[in-house]
Structure 1
Amino acid sequence: MKLFQQLLVAPAALGLMAPMAAQAADLNIDGVSDYSAAGEQVTSVSQFSDVYPTDWAYQALSSLTERYGCVAGYPGGTFGGNRSITRYEAAALLNACLDRVTEVSDDVKRLLSEFGPELAVLKGRVDGIEARVGDMAAGQFSTTTKLSGVATFVVGANGFSGDDAFASSDTSNPRHANAGKTDGGTVLSYDLQLELATSFTGEDLLNTVLRAGNFGSNGFGGAGYTELSTLETGFDSGDQLKVDKLWYSFPWGDDFTVIAGPLVGAEDMLAVNPSLYGSETILDVFTYSGAPGTYGRPLGGGAGLSWNQGDIDVSANYVSTNASNSNPASGGGLLTEAAGSSAIMQVAYSKENWGVAVAYNYASTDHQNILGGSTGTSLANAVHDIGPTNSYSLSTWWSPAETGLIPTLSAGWGINTVEDNDDRENTTYDSATTQSWAVGMEWEDAFMDGNIFGFAFGQPNFVTEIDYDSSTKDDDAEDGNYAMEWWYKIQVSDNITVTPAIFYLSRPFGDQTDQRQDTHGGDAGSKDSTFRNFGALVKTTFTF
C-alpha cells in the first residue's frame, strides 16, 4: 500500500479495530462475509432491489457506487439502508474502498505539493487558534456566565439664565443665590455597570447587574437647580459598588416568558421597548419614550409575564419598590396599600421597521418612581404623592430602509391622573392631571460611517389640571415647559465612543417659576419671571 493510502486508512482503521481484541469472541465471520458483496463488484445503485430514486440518500449512494465502486450490500441484491451497521461491517466497507484510493492518489499528491506552503500556513493558524482557545478555557471564571461592562465618564457643566435664577431666600434651597454661584461648576463623574448573564439551560437567564457612580452632588445627578437636568447615566452610589438588579427569566411553553426577582425593573419585564431612540440618550427624561408616568422604571421585587404571537406582544408585570420591608404599616410588603406598587400592562404590534404600543400603569400612593424626580416640573413632581396614579401612553416608532438623510423616528405621549388618597391627610391638593410627550430622531452613519447624530425634544410631565384643597388658590396651572437635546456619537473604536452633547430646559420650574419672588427686584408673584437651564458635556463610553 502506498504512503498516502496508509495515511488515509490508518486513523479509520485504528478507530475501527481498537476494541476488536476485547470483542474477538463475539466476531461473526459469516455476518461480515455477507456484507462483502464478494460475488460481484457493485457498479450501479440500480443493482440494489431496496434502493429507490425517491430515497433521500439516493444521489449519495449513486455517486459512491458509480464513481468509486466502494458500496457493498447483502446477498440477494439488497443494501439494507435502514439496518444498523456493526463496527465489523464498517471495516468490511472500508476494505471495499481501499482499492479505489490508488486511482486518485497521484492527483492528491500533486495538489499537496502545489499547495504545500498554504497548507503549512493554515496548519499554523489552526494550531494558534487551538492554543488561544485552550488559554481562554483555562482562564474563564465560569462555563455558564458571561461578564460584560460599560464604563462612562462625563465632564460638563450647567448654566442658568432668567430673572428667577436666584429667586429663593431660603439658604438651604439649591436655588439660593449663594448656591447658584457654585451650581454651574464643571464636574467630572462616572457610572460603572457590570452585568453577569448566566444561563443554565441555554434558554433561561439569571441577570445580575453591579453598579457604582458618583453623580450625587452635581446637577447631572439631580442635585442642582432642577432635577430635570439629571442625565440618563447620572447614577450615584457614593462610590460603592452595589447590586443594582437581580432577576431570573425562563420560557414557559412556546409563547410565554416568565421573569421574576428581588431587584427587577418594570422595563426589564416588557417584551418590547416602545422606542428606537436610545443609542445615546442624554437627559434621563428622554429614556421614558415620552411617557414617564407609564414607563417610570420602578425597581424592586416583582414578577412579570409576556406573550408573543407573531407580530403581537403582550406584557404584564408587578413591582413593589418596598418588597424587602416586612412591615406593611411602614410602607412594606407585596400587594399592600403602602407597598409602593406599580402594575403595568403593554400591548405592542411591531414589524421589521415600525411598531406601535399602548400601555397602562397603576401606581400606588407610595410609589417613588412615578411623576417624580427627573420626569417633570416642580409642580408635577409635587403632586405625584397625592394618591394612586393611573397612567396611559401611546408610542410609535419607524426606521428607514437605508441610512441617509431620513432619520429613525420615535414618538410617545402620556397622561396621568392622580386622585386624593382618603387614608392620607393632604392639605394642598385634591387631584391633578399631568401630561408629557417627546419625539426622538437618530441619523445613523452621520458624516462618517459608524457615527450617529441624535436630536430629541418634547415636554416633560407638566400639570394640565389641578384641584387645590384650599379655595383661595387658583386652580389654573401655567406649567408648560420644553426640553431639547442634541448629541453626536463618535465611534472611536469597537469599544470606545465619545459623545459631545448639549441640552436646553426652557422652564423647568413650570408654574412655580411665576410664584416666586424675584430677589433682584421683580414683583412677588409676577407672571413675567423666567428661568432657563442650558447644559453642555462630553460623554466617553467604554464597553467590554
Structure 2
Amino acid sequence: MAAIVLVAWAPKATAERVEVALSEPLFETNWLETGATPEDEPELSGLTSLESGLDEAASLDAAVDGQPSPQPVLSLGESAPEGGTEVATEAAPAAVAVSLGALETSEANTSTSALDLGQVSSVTEFSDVLPTDWAFQALSNLVERYGCLEGYPNQTFRGTQALSRYEFAAGLSACLDVVASLLGTEQVSAEDFEALQSLQAEFAVELDELASQVDALEAAADELEATQFATQTKLRGVVFSHLGGGFSNGSIQAEGVNVFAVGPDRTLVRTIDEEPSLTFGNLAWINMDTSFTGEDRLNLQMVFGNGTAPANFYASAGLFNTFGTPFTFQSGGLNPNDLAIRELSYTFPVGDRITLDIGPRINWYRYFDNNRYTFLITGANSFNSSGGTQVNAVDRGAGAIAVWDVTDWLDLRVGFLAENTEFLPFNTAADTTKGLFGGTNTLTAQVGIQPFDSFNLRLLYTRSNLEARGGLIGGAVSEPIYGFADDGPGGAAVGGLANSPADTFLINFDWTPTSWLGLFGRYSYGSTHLRQAGTGNKLGDLEAQSFQIGVAFPDLFKEGSLATVSYLVPFDVTGGGDFLASGLGDGGTQQEIEVSYRYPLTRNIAIVPSFYWIMNANNFSSNPDIYLLNLQTQLFF
C-alpha cells in the first residue's frame, strides 16, 4: 500500500549562503516547527515505520476451505486482542444446540454483510425465536444459563442460517470455554457437563485442525508485521511572502554597469541617487520525500517564486542577493515564477553510523555550516548572516556527501559536488566538455563537535575549483570571491583568467548558556589562486576574511519565538585587491547590523520582521548608511 502525506526546505536566486537541513526524524519530526535547527534533525534515524495492515476481511474460514466467512453469532465470552486471529471471535452465524442430532439446517441466509453482535440476557429478546420453535429450550439454556450466545443488533438470531462443521466446532469451543470457567459452581449440572464432554470428543479432530490453522495464521501475521514496509511519499511545503523597502542617507556608489556585469571598463563606478520602490514577493518550496525501506530517502524538492529584495538596487556587480536580503526573498529559479527542481538525491545508511547522499542535485547547505541561531527559517535570515559568505561556490551540485557519526559528540562530514544549481543558465556538471571535474566544483570536509548539549563547534575546509567565464571569476558561483576578479589592470587584453583553485577555512559555533540567551558566530578566511588564461601561470592570490558575531533570545515574549541581533563583515579584502574588477570599492570595509524576530502566530503561520543597517556598502567608505526593512510571513502545510 502506498501513502501520500502532506513538506519543505530551501533556495536562492544567485548568491545563496545557507540552507535548510530539514532536518527531524524524516517522517516523524516536523523540521518546520518553531526552533528547529539543522542540528536537531538526524539525517536518517527515526524514519516512520508503516503499519503492516493485514487484511481484516481474510477470515479463518477462507484460509481453511476457500469460502466466504459467515457472520458470527457465538461469543467466546472475552474478545481477542486487537488485530488478532482468535477463531472464537469469528464464530459461526447460526445456533448451536447440545447434540449433533438436534442440528437442522435450511436454506442459508444470503446476507454476508458485516454486522456487530448484540449481547442478550434472555432468549425472549430474539424477535425471530418463538417458544414453539423446536430449539427454543436449547437456546434458552445457552443464553440464560451460560451467557455464550449473541444475536444481531436488530434483536434477531437467524436460526435457519446454515453452518459448516468447522463453524460449529468454533462455536462449540466458545461455549466450552465459558462452561470451563463455570466448573465447580452450581450453574453447570452433571448432565450438561457429560453432554458437553461427548461433543468435545466427537469434534476433537476438527478442533485440533482448527487450532493448527490458527497457529499458522498467527505465525504468518507476525512475520508480516515484522517485515512489511510500504513505499511512502510525504508531501510538505512552505510559502514565504515578503514586503520590503529601504532608503539611504544620500547617493550610493556601486561598481559595474549593473548588479550582474562589470562592463568593458573595470574601473566603472555608477552612482545611485534614487531609492528603491516598496516591493512584494513570494517563494514556495515543495518537498516530496519517498522512503522505500523505512531507513532511506529519495529527496525531491521543487521551487518557484518571484521575489527581488530592494537591497539589490544598491549592490555592486557580483553582489546580487547578498547584504540586507532575506534568504527567501528570491525567485528560486532562473526566471521569476519558473518551476524548478531544486534538490534531487538519494540518502541511505551504510551500517549504524554512516549515511550517504548521492545524486545529481544535492543541497550542500543541508550538511555543512549549519548554526542553531542562523537557521534561515527561525534565526538571522539574510544571505550574508545565514551562512559563511566565502565558504562554498556550489550551492547544489552533482556528487556525494558522507556523514559519519563517530560518537554521540563528534561527527565527520565529507562531500564532493560539481556545479548543478537551479538558478543558473549553465551547469558544468552536465556539460560534456567539463563534467564533474572540469568546471566549478568543491571538496568539503567538516568536523562537528558537541561536548555538551548547549554548545556546538564546527571546523570546515573547502577546496574549490572556480570556472572562469569571459576571463572573469565571480558572481554567485565563485566564493570565496565576493564580486568579480580578473587578471589585473590591463590584463584582459591577453585573455583574462583561467579556471583557478581556492581554499577556504571556517569556524562556526553556537552556545546556549541559559534557556533565554544564545550566542553564535563565524569566522572564515579564503584565498583564491588566480591563474592566467592561455598560459595557466599563477598571477597571485586574492585573499579575504569575513566574520559574524551575534546574540539570540529564544522564546522572547512567546514560546517558540526567536530574536537575534548580529554584527557582521561579509568580505574584507586582505590581499590581492588589484585583481578585483568589482568588490573592492574604495578600500573600505562593509559592515552590517541585522535584527530579526520570528513570532509564531500558530503552529503553521509565523511572521518575521527584520531590520538591516548597512555601513560602507559595497566596500566604499564614502557611501552613506543604508537602512532596509522587511516583513516576512511563513505559511507551512
**TM-score for the superposition, normalised by structure 2:** 0.55
Compute the displacement of 1:468 (Å). 3.6
What CA deviation, in whole Å up to 9, does each residue of 1:450-505 have, x standing for no partner? 332111211102211116479xxxx9983422111112222111111111111011
2:530 to 383, 404, 420: 420
Q: Which residue of 1 aligns with 2:25?
A: none
SS of match in other structure, 1:542: strand
CA-atom RMSD, angstroms? 4.1
Q: Which residue of 2 aligns with 1:262?
A: 360
SS of match in other structure, 1:334: helix
Q: Which residue of 2 aligns with 1:225?
A: 315
What CA deviation, in whole Å up to 9, does each residue of 1:502-535 have, x standing for no partner? 101111211xx26xxxxxxxxxxxxxx2233210
Which structure has greater helix proportion? 1
SS of match in other structure, 1:509: helix
Compute the displacement of 1:275 (Å). 4.2
1:507 to 606, 609, 616: 616
Q: Which residue of 2 aligns with 1:33?
A: none
Which structure ranks higher in relative contact order (CA pairs < 8 Å, sequence separation ≥ 6)? 2
Q: Does 2:345 match 1:253?
A: no
Q: Distance in 1 between matches of 2:562 and 2:256?
A: 44
Q: Distance in 2 between matches of 1:283 and 1:17?
A: 63
1:93-132 to structure 2, matched below 5 A, reads 94=177, 98-99=181-182
| Counterparts in 2 of 1:428 and 1:483: CA distance versus 1, 3 Å | farther
Q: Distance in 2 between matches of 1:7 and 1:95?
A: 9
Q: Which residue of 1 aligns with 2:149?
A: none
| Counterparts in 2 of 1:531 and 1:305: CA distance versus 1, 3 Å | same
Q: Which residue of 1 aligns with 2:374?
A: 277
Q: Which residue of 2 aligns with 1:241?
A: 339
Q: Does 2:386 match 1:287?
A: yes
Compute the displacement of 1:180 (Å). 4.1
Q: Which residue of 2 aligns with 1:463?
A: 573
Structure 2 segments unaligned to the other structure (5+ residues): 1-73, 93-169, 187-229, 263-268, 420-426, 487-496
Q: Is the 8 A contact 1:267 1:297 kept in 2?
A: no
| Counterparts in 2 of 1:243 and 1:167: CA distance versus 1, 3 Å | closer
Q: Distance in 2 between matches of 1:425 and 1:93?
A: 98
Q: Which residue of 1 aligns with 2:398?
A: 301
What CA deviation, in whole Å up to 9, does each residue of 1:302-358 have, x standing for no partner? 111111122110010011113543332xxx30122xx21111000111132112111
Which amino acid in the other structure matches residue 490 of structure 1?
A: Y
2:276 to 184, 188, 191: 184
Q: Which residue of 2 aligns with 1:442?
A: 552
2:599 to 485, 490, 494: 490
Q: Does 2:252 match 1:165?
A: yes
1:15 to 75, 87, 94: 87
SS of match in other structure, 2:385: helix
Compute the displacement of 1:375 (Å). 10
What CA deviation, in whole Å up to 9, does each residue of 1:411-466 have, x standing for no partner? 11100011122445799973211001112332122123333211121110221111
Q: Distance in 2 between matches of 1:485 and 1:277?
A: 11
| Counterparts in 2 of 1:306 and 1:93: CA distance versus 1, 3 Å | farther
Q: Which residue of 1 aligns with 2:431?
A: 326
Q: Distance in 1 between matches of 2:534 and 2:618?
A: 26
Compute the displacement of 1:253 (Å). 0.9
Which amino acid in the other structure matches residue 98 of structure 1?
A: S
What CA deviation, in whole Å up to 9, does each residue of 1:263-297 have, x standing for no partner? 11222344x73443321433111111xx3322555
Compute the displacement of 1:8 (Å). 5.5
Q: Is the 8 A contact 2:531 2:539 kept in 1?
A: no
How many pairs were matched up?
399
Q: Distance in 1 between matches of 2:460 and 2:370?
A: 11
Q: Distance in 2 between matches of 1:538 and 1:346?
A: 34
Compute the displacement of 1:15 (Å). 1.3
2:500 to 384, 387, 394: 387
Q: Which residue of 2 aligns with 1:360?
A: 461
| Counterparts in 2 of 1:469 and 1:261: CA distance versus 1, 3 Å | closer
| Counterparts in 2 of 1:239 and 1:428: CA distance versus 1, 3 Å | farther
**TM-score for the superposition, normalised by structure 1:** 0.64
Q: Is the 8 A contact 1:465 1:477 kept in 2?
A: no
SS of match in other structure, 1:229: coil
Q: Distance in 2 between matches of 1:219 and 1:285?
A: 15
Q: Which residue of 2 aligns with 1:3?
A: none
Greater displacement, 459-468 / 144-153: 459-468
Q: Which residue of 2 aligns with 1:410?
A: 520
Q: Distance in 1 between matches of 2:547 and 2:444?
A: 19
SS of match in other structure, 1:267: helix
| Counterparts in 2 of 1:198 and 1:14: CA distance versus 1, 3 Å | closer
Q: Distance in 1 between matches of 2:518 and 2:468?
A: 33
Compute the displacement of 1:202 (Å). 0.8
Q: Distance in 2 between matches of 1:428 and 1:198?
A: 47
Q: Does 2:412 match 1:314?
A: yes
Which amino acid in the other structure matches residue 570 of structure 2?
A: P
